Each structure stands twice: as C-alpha cells, then as structure tokens.
Structure 1
C-alpha cells in the first residue's frame, strides 16, 4: 500500500506569507507609526505581537510535520493531529468539483493549489492542497478519474491494468526517481487537453463590453475615498488638504480637468480590472467534464463532471437585458471556495450573448434541453400578486399619515414618498408577473421569474431531491397553487414558483413521482 506522505514543504512558506499579509497593517501601526510610543496599548501590544508570531510559527511547523495524506484506490486518506490523531477517509465518488488557483506566490515557485469539493455535509468537506506541484496535482486528478471509473480500460503504465496493479505501481513510483512518472503525467495531461473542445474565448470587444456592463469603472472612486479616510486616521489629511481644496474650488477649469481626468482614469481602471479577471477566460469541455479558466495574473480554474451538474441557471439584469447578454451558471453540490473566498467561476461567462449562451449550453451539456416555448401565468395570478402587498402599504400609509414627517423641509413629502413607494412596489409586481414563465416536459422543468433581475432555472427530474406543492387561503379561492423544487447544492437550492393553475401544480407532483424510472444512484 502507498505510504502516507507529507504536504509540500513550501506549504510552510505559503502559511507564513498568509500570516504576513494578515498582520501587515498591524505591524505598520505598532512598529512604524507608534514605534516610539511607551503607552500601555502600544508597548505591551508589541510584546503580544512577538508572542503571537512565535506561536504562529510553531503551529505552522508542527502542522506540516503532523499532517499527511494518502491516495488510495477509491478514497483520499487524510491524517492530522499532534496529540490526538485523526484519520479521515473521503471516497472519490463524493468529489463534485475540482478547483485550481495559481496566485502570484504559486507562479513564482511554479506551483498551484488544488481543492476537491465534495457533496458531504459537516466540517472538512473540502480536501485542500494549498501548495502542490503541477505534476502532483495532475496525478491526483488522474487517480481520482481512474478510481471512480472501475470499468474503463486503464492504459496508463503508472497505474496498471486493474486496481491492484494500479496501487502497486503507485507504491513503486513513490520509492524511485520521478522523471518517468512526470513525463507520463505530462503526456496524459497533454492528451486530455487535446481532447477538449474550446467553446469560448473572449475577444477584446467582449472585454470592453464586460467592463461597462459590470460597471467596474465605478469602483475606483469608492476605493480612493476609502483609502483617503484610512490614511487620514494616521496623517490627518483634512488639515493638509484644506489649502489644496480651496485652490481647486477657486478655478472652474481646474475642476473640469480633475473631473475629466477622474472619469478617464476610472474607465481605464475598469477595463484593466476586467481584463485581469476575464482577459484569458476559457470555457472548454470533453466527454466527461466542463473546464473554466480565468485570470491573467491570479489564475483560477474550475472543473466539474457533467454528471454532477444539478441545474443550469441563466440570470439577466436589466442592463444585460437591454444589451442582449446573459450569465450562465452551473449549479453543483460542492462548495465553490478557495482560501475562504467565494468563487463565481462556476459561471460559464457573466457576459455571454444570449443566443450564444443557449448554443453553448447545448454544446457542453447536450443532455439538457432548453426551450423558448414556455407557459405564462394565468391572469388571476396577477390579481393575487396585486393583493399581497396591500397590508404592507396600509401599515406604511397609516404610519406616514400619523407622523407626517417633513423631509428636506417639505411638509408634503410624506404623501409624495407614499405614492412613489406604491408605484415602485406595483411596478415590480407587474414586471415579475410578466417575466414569470415555466414549462415541463418528459425529463426537464424550466422556471423563469424575477423583476429587475430574471433567473431562468433548468434542471432534470433525476436531479431534483424534493418537490412540495402548497396553497394559501387566497390561492385556494382562485384555483391556483405554488410548488417548490429542491436541488442538491451548497447550500441546498430551493426554487419556488407561485400562482400557477392548481391542475398544473398537481401534475408537477405526479411528474416528479415518475422519476423512479430514470433516477441513478450517484
């Protein structure tokens, strides 16, 4: 059997780097801005920092010495603990997604991080290798692929022709030089990439459209304001800026120049920001998996088995609707996080042309069928939706009539605000009614709803784990009902559709019960 092995030694340096980033501003405060201060807070704060640093370094070293892992035939085996030993076994079959991240740190040392996301609940649901060689990461993916497909003919000489030979080969490779293994893995990786079909690479026009659609150019001003207030806490910039502000306000042409320069800088900043994130975006797939890669400097990649896609979500904001673009997301049961940061990389691309998006779904997931022929809600559903906000509007009206608050010195502002509130509420109600559509066929259900932002969910019957049909008092009187479907995701995905004909709601339940004819145990 393969022996447990320690994580890569560079993991310690990676943890140290993370520690340095976390305490950087604390170091500036204690040892730069207040180094000469003998106050209790700063004097003993420095001593506490020394102690904290020593404890952190001891923990980083001890963690590396005690944590190990092993690749088995069908599962990961993880070992951890200094005084209390803990062993965790995670079957390969539970792995939903594979996430890779190449930060500046990884790029310097030609390493990567790889996280295997599972559908398991509780703690430690993600298998993390924050620093690992590219060859080892490729090897892991290969072992997992072979471990979850026992009936496939194995041609790789490193793993043999069956489970026993594969494990013995891995044992032998662990005790000898690795050039043959590395070259074989590179060959396997290259072969796998050659089998991939590239579906999308953004053009310069796509990047420009994305920078304006995402409103990235508006991010610079809040960043500058936040930076100003942070520096003001230490350097008292208000007093120093008074003279400069008076000079600027005294010359109108200077104000115009500054505004134009700020606008141009914001636009350039937004374009650069979007390019660094989406400039090298790639969507590809092979027969089994979907691959998404993004990032120019900080590279992230995501792969998911097509069988693990629980649903497809197509979202469209008002701006995107006007421009004819959509965002397509793949819903899966695994977490989409790296280093505690949410990954939105499960999106095929946030700014896809609508027609191309539907074509791409058909190319990548041919088992998913999306139709534009969808049923609308009955007219009596509109009356129900118009009546629902009545109680809220009545309560707000009574409160405003009683207090009659004056806003900006305008005594009549309270009823003007009430009218605007009613207009906004019912605009969203009517917009939501018009946007809500649905359809059900033999194996799929599609639900589209939303007001300013629409969400179009497409899922297969065998991917739904629960269906619930319910009716309120008002719905019973008008012969309509609501239903909710539940998909495996993290967190569990609930999708509700309100105010459809009661006969259709009943047929949804019957349709779901017929899933036993096609459901597969994953």
Structure 2
C-alpha cells in the first residue's frame, strides 16, 4: 500500500477548522472595519485545504509508515513501526457505512511526528498493529491470538458500563459548570464585537432586578448547562467497554464517534482515582491512567478514563483485575498537618477579590456584592479544610508511591511505580521549615512532556522519608 490518497470524505474534517477560522477573521474584520477581507480569506483558505488534500499521501511499507505532504514546503514523516506508541481509532457515525475511520498514530515525541489519517479503510489500523507486533517481536503472540478465534471473547478482565452507572457518572459531573466558565471566557475574548449599547442594556436590566430574580435566572442557566452536560457525557461514553488481554488494555466508547484505543500495560505511567466533591459524597470514583502520547492529543487521550464510575465496595476488587500494583483496600495516607488548613485558606483568599467589579457599577450592586462575598468566604474556608483532609503520601508494596491531593474540590489518588518516577523534588521555604512543612513534587512522563503531582504542606519528616526511598531504590 504505497502513495495512497485519503478518502475524499477527509475534506469534511477540515470544515470544522475552516469555519472557525473564517468566523475569527469575520469578527476581526468587523472590529477593524474591513469586512471585505473575510470573503477573500475564505476563498484562499478553501483553495489551500483542497490542494493540501491532494498533496497528502501515505505509504505502509515493510518497515515504516511514510507520510508525504506540503504545498510550498514538502515534508516527509518516517515512522518505524517499533517506534509507534499508540494507535487510536475514531469512527464517526457517517463514516461507518463506508467502512472508514480516523487512525491516529503517535510515537510520543512531538506534534510534528504525529500522523493523523483522518479517513482511511478500517483495515489500515489492523495492518499497522500487525506490523508493530512484528517490529517488536510480538508476532508469535499475535498469531496465537488469531489461531484462537473460538476464544477471542475470553479476556483476562472486562468491564462494561451499565445504564445506572452512566446515569451516576453524567449526573455527578461538573462539566456544566465548566460550560458556564467557557461562556464567560468567550464573552471576554469577543466582547469587542458586541455594541456597548447592548452591554449597557443588559447591566441595566440586571440592576433593576432583585437578588432573588438574578439568583433564579442563574439557577435556570445552571439547569440548562447540566442538561447539556448530561447529554454530552452519554454521547461520549455510550457503551463504554474496557478489556484486558495479553498485556494490553483496550477501551472503546462513543455514540456519534466511536473511539477505540489499545494500550500496552507496561506503557502506563500512573493510575489515578479521581472524585469531585459530589462523587465523594456518593462514594463513587472515576479511574484514569496517564500514558505516553503526543502533545496533539487532548487530555482525554493523554489521561484517558479507564473506568468511568465504581462504588467504594467494588473499586479495589475490580481495578486489581486490570492493574497489578494496586493495594487490596484504600491506603492510609500520612503527612497531614493541621497548620496546612490555614495555609490553604490563605492561598485561595484571592477569590474574594473577584466580585469587586460589581461595586464599579454603582451602589445598587452592593447587596449582590455582599451576598457573593459571603458565599465565597464560606467556600474558601471549606476549601482549606477539604484540601487538608485529602493531602499526603504513602508507600505500598515497597515500590509504589501513593500521592493524595485535591484541587477545585476534586480529590485525586495517584499510584505510581518507582521506575515510572522521573524525579522527586523537596521544596521548603524558610517559613515552612519553622513549621516542619514541605512540598513534595513528583515528576512523571505525561503525553510527550513531563507532568507534576504535588503534595503540599505535608510533614517534613514524611516527605524526607519518601525522598530517601527514591534515592536509595
């Protein structure tokens, strides 16, 4: 298979970026009063994307995957099969009738070496996986698996999400709140395109209403955001399945876009148990892993969700079927210090400054300012106690480090093997030394770069014991 073009449906994938780029230019042209720029830019960009499609070629050779592309500057990407880290398969619903899918191949170096075959036949991913096995001397294992077609459904471990679990996972997500933050960020970026007349009318409308009416309207917005979040999660994690077989984890999910990722277990960097405050109350946990990937992939692929939701009773029995380095039960975390409560409160007190702009719009906003300040003060104090409770470290099985931390009311429990740790840093200021406190920072490989896991304001003696353990292993 040499010098092949992508399927013509690949042009559809460029439309999303095309329209977003045209809209951005349109807004910019409105701001600088040069509207005529937009149609000219749109035509040139469309021509560029069409020509780019015809200059993109891929070849599946005996020892490497070869990509050639470029209009003005020709570029070739040579990816030996033994260097392939992950093969991600994504199939949109409109590609399924044509037996097409998007195949993303990366070697965890940088985005320029990432290969994205946006519309190719389904057998391309199978061919690449087969050649990767040959290059890594795992072909015997592959042949053995194919010879056992009658046992192909017998996995070492398997997890399928139920409708009840999906409802729990979607109902306890904070994605709706993040959606509101995204709307606020969108307003800040593109507010220049909104006439000041309309802005004044909105502020005058809100100022004429009482606190109760504004709160009710905000709650309605939250409900809408929650419904959108609930539906989007169902679409994204529809029929989520995780299997383990012959040293590989494979998970698939999605309604409109089915994603399938196969990961070798020895490439997993760390295992993370996460709980937002709502899931903490209901005693349910989401399990993620950190893998080596490339920077082009998003967070959902660098830190993929392996098990969307498990209750406390099933958490460790089920996860132990997929991972060998986990304890049999919840570990007891060490290093907590009561003085850290005040430090966490102090560090987040800047949030109390956020409502100050309300006072700039007149005394009519004073009651709203006080109301918001009281709520934020309660959240800041609660955050200090919550982060203190979920903060510390623990050694298990002599070679696995557990770090517990919390951010934005999201508790995380990280399990990382000694040989997966890139470095350990002990940080202590002169003021922390007086209180026998320290920050313990763990660096691990995340994506194509390094990531950090930090336990803040823990007991200095406990932190030093972890540091010595890492040095002496």
User: TM-score surpassing 0.5?
Assistant: yes
Q: Which runs of no fewer than 5 residues in structure 1 stay unpaired?
A: 31-39, 158-184, 227-232, 239-261, 516-522
Residue by residue over 1:181-207, the C-alpha shift from the partner in whole angstroms, topping out at 9 and shown as x without a partner, is xxxx9x579579435345221222223
Which residue of structure 1 lines up, in the alignment, with residue 413 of structure 2?
456
Mapped contact 2:439–2:458 kept (Cα < 8 A): yes
The structure with the larger Rg is: 1
The one of 291, 310, 329 equivalent to 2:288 is: 329
Counterpart check, 1:208 vs 2:196: no
1:249 corresponding residue in structure 2: none
Q: Is the 8 A contact 2:401 2:417 kept in 1?
A: yes
Q: Take 2:243 and 2:111, find their aligned partners in 1: how far apart are those partners? A: 32
The aligned residue for residue 250 of structure 1 is none
Report the 3-state secondary structure (helix = DSSP H, G, I; strand = E; otherwise coil) of the residue aligned with 2:9: helix
Q: Residue 276 of structure 2 contacts residue 410 of structure 2 at CA under 8 Å; is this kept in 1?
A: yes
Residue pairs, 1:54-453, within 5 angstroms: 54-61=47-54, 63-64=55-56, 67-73=57-63, 75-81=64-70, 85-120=74-109, 122-149=110-137, 153=140, 156=143, 193-197=152-156, 199-214=158-173, 273-335=232-294, 343=301, 346-369=304-327, 371-378=329-336, 381-387=337-343, 390=346, 408=364, 410=366, 421-441=376-396, 442-450=398-406, 452-453=409-410
Cα distance, 1:110 vs. partner? 0.8
Aligned to 1:179: none
Q: In structure 2, the residue corresponding to 1:492 is in which secondary structure? A: strand
8 Å contact from structure 2 (residues 65, 79) kept in 1: yes
* Distance change in 2, residues 1:217/1:53 (3 Å): closer
Distance 1:493 1:55, change over 3 A: closer
Query: In structure 2, how many angstroms separate the alpha carbons of the residues matched to 1:96 and 1:7?
Result: 23
Shift of 1:80: 3.9
Deviation at 1:23, TM superposition (A): 3.7
Instruction: Give deviations 1:396-423, integer Å, cap 9, x for gaps.
Output: 89xx9xx999864658966x87665544
Deviation at 1:316? 0.2
TM-score by length of 1: 0.68
Secondary structure of 2:256's counterpart equals coil
**Whole-angstrom CA distance in 1 between matches of 2:458 and 2:16:** 56
Other-structure match for 2:14: 18
8 Å Cα contact 1:291/1:303 also seen in 2: yes
Distance 1:266 1:426, change over 3 A: closer
Question: What is the CA–CA distance in structure 1 between the aligned matches of 2:304 and 2:34, rounded to whole Å?
Answer: 46
1:506 Cα deviation from its structure 2 partner: 2.1
Q: Does the residue aligned with 1:481 lie in a helix, a strand or coil?
A: strand
- Counterparts of 1:392 and 1:502 in 2: how far apart (Å)? 22
- Distance, in Å, in 2 between the alignment partners of 1:85 and 1:309 is 35
CA drift of 1:373 comes to: 3.0
Residues 280 and 295 in structure 1, CA contact (< 8 A), matched pair in contact too: yes
Counterpart of 1:499 (choices 444, 453, 457) is 457
Q: Which residue is 1:174 aligned to? A: none
Query: Per-residue deviation at 1:208?
Result: 2.6
By how many angstroms is 1:144 displaced?
Answer: 0.6
Mark the CA change 1:322 to 1:458 in structure 2 (over 3 Å): closer, same or farther. same
- Cα distance in 1 for partners of 2:427, 2:402 equals 19
Q: Deviations over 1:235-271 (max 9, x none)?
A: xxx9xxxxxxxxxxxxxxxxxxxxxxx9999998766
Quickly say closer, same or farther: Cα 1:475–1:72, change in 2 above 3 A.
farther
CA contact (8 A) 1:312 1:328 kept: yes
Partner of 2:4: 7
- Alignment: residue pair count: 429
Q: Secondary structure at the match of 2:274?
A: strand
For 2:365 and 2:224, how far apart are their aligned partners in 1? 38
Change (3 A) 1:80 1:266: closer
Structure 1 residue 320: deviation in Å? Answer: 0.7
Mapped to 1, the partners of 2:281 and 2:161 lie a distance apart of 20
Mapped to 2, the partners of 1:269 and 1:355 lie a distance apart of: 30
The secondary structure found in structure 2 opposite 1:474 is helix
